[in-house]
Amino acid sequence: MIDTILITGATLPGGSQSDILVAGGVIRELGSIAAPAGSRRIDAAGLVALPGLVDLHTHLREPGFEQSETVLTGSQAAAAGGFTSIFAMANTLPVADTAGVVEQVLSLGQQAGYATVRPIGAVTRGLLGEQLSEIGAMAHSRAAVRVFSDDGKCVHDSLLMRRALEYVSSFDGVIAQHAQDPRLTEAAQMNEGSLSSELGLKGWPAVAEESIIARDVLLAEHVGARLHICHLSTAGSVEVIRWAKARGIRVTAEATPHHLLLTEDLVRSYDARYKVNPPLRRDEDVLALRAAIADGTIDIIATDHAPHPSESKECEWDSAAFGMVGLESALSVVQTALVDTNLVGWNDVARLLSATPAAIGGLIGAGAIRAGAAADITLHDPSTSSVFDVTDLAGKSVNSPYLGRQLSGSVRYTLHNGYLTLDDGLVVPAEVVAASARAGSQMEMGE
């Protein structure tokens, strides 16, 4: 097994060129480096080297929904998209509301070896919104859970939300709120507006998201806790976050790639690939989200990768499942929506998709390309433009809204803990990656 990799001529996020020497799972050296004997050389001329991407919002579906995705296939999708760390949402079956479930997910991730898999714990038992889950046990488990979320459902009870915010502070945790007033969105299907009325699909008003965010930033201020808002989708939500930050409230916010590129007009096709929670919004919302990313109001981009089997999408809109896969396409969508439009540079991309999500999630040591750091590196070719295709997907499900759509850039190589998980655009076979992961962890124990 080749342990030493020399990446030559890569463009660092800041714009400078550098070789990167990786050995023993860490970055050894940056600069102009002569190839050590027996090393693998990767020619990265023209490629951007980003710190391994970190996704704070992934649905891996295991345990319980293995027909859609497993920890293994989901982390393969992550590797294909340049991700080296993924936070697995709690809405599995059983729900990740106990130490047992989160430790299981952690182990599955370690066995697969494609990425650091960090489980997210449920805020309430069974995601029912009634009683706090075993937050302390999960925080102190081997999975060391720091992010808690009922994602897919909103913690809508104000008192429960307040208690949750207070309680997780004890473990340096953060609540990631899925902001959706349940009464205002009963049976809702798409963004509420003249289009939803025309199409006869039940409207999902922006205010259902904005009112919850407004309440929660006030609660976070009141109890002095840290709050993270999942998948902001409206211009109004941006305004609330901007106000909260100006007030000094400890809130962070995320946007998904799809909310930065796609709009509700796609729903005209009634093609359920475009059905997602929160729904695709209007043009002006997309522009507001992009501007908020550019000015720092929105802190991170997270995929909300939500795999579903084909029968959940090949049906009437009303019966279709919410969600899109997004790991494999995320970086290309971000380039298309933000970089190509000159709203952000690659330095910002490294912050939005790696450093800040790592910081919010309590992932120590991730998010930077520097000597001594774990060798989590993504090499991205920004010069390509191609039609996104089903062969670009590496997970189990194909419910991508980008199939057939022109996207910029492509991830060429992903290194996780110093070994390749994506090699020249191809996902490295599972047994090779698992062996690298085992070798890495034995070495760690040996040290």
Partner 1 sequence: MRHLLSTKNLSRDEAILLLDIAEDMSDTQLREVKKLPTLRGKTVVNLFFEDSTRTRVSFEAAAKRLSADVINFSAKGSSVSKGESLKDTAQTLAAIGADGVIIRHAASGAPQRLAESRWIDAGILNAGDGTHEHPTQALLDAFTMRRRIHGDASRGKDLDGISVAIVGDITHSRVARSNLWLLRTLGAHVTFVAPATLIPFGAAEWPATISYDLDQTLSEGRPDVVMLLRIQAERMDAAFFPNEREYSRWWGLDDERFAAMRSDSIVMHPGPMNRGLEISSTAADSAQSTVLEQVTNGVSVRMAALYMLLAGEREGA
Task: Give CA 220 to chain center in angstroms.
Answer: 23
248 is in an annotated binding site: no
d(CA 124, CA 295): 34
Compute the chain's Rg from CA coordinates: 21
Candidate residues 18, 70, 75, 196; the one interacting with partner 1 per rule CB under 8 A:
196
How far apart are CB 192 and partner 1 at their closest, in Å?
5
**Contacts (Cβ under 8 Å, ≥6 apart) of 298:** 232, 238, 241, 253, 254, 255, 289, 292
342 is in an annotated binding site: no
Candidate residues 63, 126, 136, 193; the one interacting with partner 1 per rule CB under 8 A:
193
Decide if residue 314 touches partner 1 (CB under 8 A): yes
Residue span binding partner 1 (CB under 8 A) among the ranges 5-13, 119-127, 149-157, 189-197: 189-197
How far apart are CB 404 and partner 1 at their closest, in Å?
14
Candidate residues 16, 194, 342, 391; the one interacting with partner 1 per rule CB under 8 A:
194
Residue span binding partner 1 (CB under 8 A) among the ranges 86-94, 193-201, 244-252, 289-297: 193-201
For residue 103, count other CB atoms closer than 10 A to its CB: 17
308 is in an annotated binding site: yes
191 is in an annotated binding site: no
Q: Which is nearer to partner 1, 267 or 374 (CB)?
A: 267
d(CA 416, CA 29): 16
Contact 256, 231 (CB under 8 A): yes
Match 């359920």 to its residue by tokens: 272
Q: Which segments of 275-376 are extended strands (E)?
A: 300-301
Give backbone dihedrals phi and psi of 372, rounded to 5 degrees, phi first.
Answer: 100, -20
Within residues 221-260, the interface with partner 1 by CB under 8 A covers none
Name the maximum alpha-carbon separation found in the chain: 67
Nearest to 240 by CA among 210, 265, 218: 210
Residue span binding partner 1 (CB under 8 A) among the ranges 238-246, 308-316, 341-349, 425-433: 308-316
322 is in an annotated binding site: yes
End-to-end CA distance of the chain: 19
d(CA 269, CA 282): 16
- Count CA within 13 A, CB hemisphere, residue 418: 28
How far apart are CB 373 and partner 1 at their closest, in Å?
49
How far apart are CB 9 and partner 1 at their closest, in Å?
47
57 is in an annotated binding site: yes
The three-point CA angle 438-440-443 to 5° equals: 110
d(CA 329, CA 331): 6
d(CA 148, CA 151): 9
Contact 323, 316 (CB under 8 A): no
Decide if residue 424 touches partner 1 (CB under 8 A): no
Candidate residues 151, 192, 264, 285; the one interacting with partner 1 per rule CB under 8 A:
192
Pairing between strand 419-423 and 406-416?
antiparallel
Q: Which is nearer to partner 1, 114 or 317 (CB)?
A: 317
How far apart are CB 282 and partner 1 at their closest, in Å?
11
Decide if residue 447 touches partner 1 (CB under 8 A): no
Q: Which is nearer to partner 1, 194 or 391 (CB)?
A: 194
Tell me the β-bridge partners of 4: 23
d(CA 241, CA 299): 10
How far apart are CB 158 and partner 1 at their closest, in Å?
22
Q: Which of 304, 376, 392, 423 is labelled catalytic?
A: 304
Decide if residue 283 touches partner 1 (CB under 8 A): no
d(CA 403, CA 388): 5
Q: Which is nearer to partner 1, 131 or 319 (CB)?
A: 319
Residue span binding partner 1 (CB under 8 A) among the ranges 50-58, 263-271, 391-399, 433-441: 263-271
The three-point CA angle 393-59-213 to 5° equals: 125
Decide if residue 43 touches partner 1 (CB under 8 A): no
Count of residues of this chain found to bind partner 1 when the rule CB under 8 A is applied = 22
277 is in an annotated binding site: yes
Binding mask 315-334 for partner 1 (x = CB under 8 A): xxxxx---------------
Q: Among this protein's residues, is 304 annotated catalytic? A: yes
Q: What is the dihedral of CA 365, 379, 58, 419, to 10 degrees?
A: -60
How far apart are CB 106 and partner 1 at their closest, in Å?
36
Per CB under 8 A, residues contacting partner 1 are 192-201, 203, 205, 269-271, 311, 314-319
Q: Which residues belong to the active site?
A: 304
Q: Which amino acids are annotated as binding site for Zn(2+), given as ranges?
A: 57, 59, 151, 178, 231, 304
Q: Which amino acids are annotated as binding site for substrate, given as ranges?
A: 59-61, 91, 277, 308, 322-323
Q: Which amino acids are annotated as binding site, given as ranges?
A: 57, 59-61, 91, 151, 178, 231, 277, 304, 308, 322-323
